[in-house]
Structure 1
Amino acid sequence: MDYLQKHKGAVIATLVILSWGLSLWFLLHFPVNIYSPVPYLLLLVQTHLYTGLFITAHDAMHGVVSRNRKVNKTIGTLAAGLFAYNNFNRLLPRHHAHHHHVATGQDPDYHGGNFFIWYFSFLKNYITWQQLVLMAITFNVLKLIFPAENVILFWMIPAILATFQLFYFGTYLPHRGEHASDNKHKSHTLAKNHTWAFISCYFFGYHYEHHDKPYIPWWQLYKEKK
């Protein structure tokens, strides 16, 4: 029990990764009936687990998955890579630039344009041509093994939707518009509703709290909500 408590961050990160992997394996074998609501509900669950992969990688960027640096980076690299071949080493400096220069011209996550321009800028900053090539290769390999509709519904579309989920709840809503002069983190935050905060983006709607205490892992962030 003491061991689990000491390594709780790594255990939770491992559970998120395993949940994503086991769910994907099950769903790739799932008989799809496009006229039933069940596949679409499962698609949303898989989207949430994809978001969890990125949140896990994000926590590793702050060094809070494990006190052991090698374990922390290994888990972060794995979680990032499973989410559409993101490169942990490439994401790391960009995310810290976001924290150091939030909502300024030096913030890679920020854009003063409308929603669609901002979203395009967000994608451009985080998606590379190498990722697209790897995704295309993986798609074509997977559809040789599994039904194409399963690969599209449960591997490809959830990754796209999770990108939107991360952007909308973790970047756009928290940083859009004007911020009070005493808002040192230039971040809005969700009203207190822990269930919605978890479902929407693993508590990262509590965004001011995250910027205020970036050393708090996602699964404890709700405790910082006043």
Structure 2
Amino acid sequence: MSDNYKNRGVIIASLVVILWIGHLLYGLLEVEIAADNPWVYLHILVQTHLFTGLFITGHDGMHGTIKPHSPVINKVFGTAASFLYAGLSFTKLKKNHQKHHNHPGTPEDPDYCERSQNFFVWYFTFMWRYLTIWQILVMAVLFNVLGVWFSESRLILLWIVPAFLSTFQMFYFGVYAPHKQPHLNQMMPYRSRTMNKNHIWAFLSCWFFGYHYEHHQSPWTPWWKLHAVKK
């Protein structure tokens, strides 16, 4: 096996991080902020998608799939991607995500909302469980530091709004749609459904994460190879 193949996960993770940083800087430096400028909305959508890719890169770090058998590399990428996404703690995310895989769709699953299947109740419950004072302080500091060079409107439209929209994208395709009730027989043992096979839509919607039964079935498969698991 060639070194390039062995390092493919590292190369892909690096590209996601570079694209996220590069597009964010381009938007903050070059995009004209105006309500009648259609490019603003396009850049918001692109940055939203890149935010989701950033989180899923951190997620692959949790599973050790960025570079198999290299916990240090996985932790470095996972920590960096989680922090860049929204000041998240990679250690806390990894701990809770392991519980999710051990007890999907049950009261022991930190991503599951037992008391309600309503989208917004579940979403806010999910977000509340991961939100920390430390995260809020980190993001506030970053916002004020970046505010030295960029206007508040640019930061809000091209950094904060895409991050916020990304949480809905990840929650719907990676938590709500796969794990909501009813839990049918074909969803067992992971209590997870999956989207129909369509690799273009699967990537655009959530970086193949909609192939969610396959992810639970093969958690050692990185996001960019999940389509190969899909039957």
Q: Structure 1 residue runs of 4+, over 2 Å off?
A: none
Deviation of 1:223 (Å): 0.9
Tell me the secondary structure at the aligned position of residue 29 of structure 1: helix
1:152 aligned to 145, 152, 156, which one? 156
Partner of 2:52: 51
Paired letter, 2:8: K
Is 1:191 equivalent to 2:193 in the alignment?
Answer: no
Is 1:20 equivalent to 2:20 in the alignment?
Answer: yes
The whole-number CA distance in structure 1 between the counterparts of 2:50 and 2:127 is: 20
The whole-number CA distance in structure 1 between the counterparts of 2:208 and 2:119 is: 22
Give the 5 Å matches for 1:1-226.
2-30=2-30, 31-67=32-68, 68-112=70-114, 113=116, 114-182=118-186, 183-226=188-231
Deviation of 1:34 (Å): 2.0
Q: How many residue pairs get matched?
A: 226
Show structure 1 runs of 5+ residues with no match. Answer: none
Q: Provide, for residues 29-86 of structure 1, a one-character-per-residue CA deviation record: whole Å limited to 9, x for no partner.
A: 1222221111011100001001011100101111100122111110110011101101
Q: Provide, for residues 174-206 of structure 1, a one-character-per-residue CA deviation record: whole Å limited to 9, x for no partner.
A: 001112235211101101111111011101111
Show structure 2 runs of 5+ residues with no match. Answer: none
Tell me the secondary structure at the aligned position of residue 102 of structure 1: coil
Paired letter, 1:24: L
Deviation of 1:2 (Å): 2.4
The whole-number CA distance in structure 1 between the counterparts of 2:143 and 2:55 is: 20
The whole-number CA distance in structure 2 between the counterparts of 1:3 and 1:24 is: 31
Identity of aligned residues (%): 48
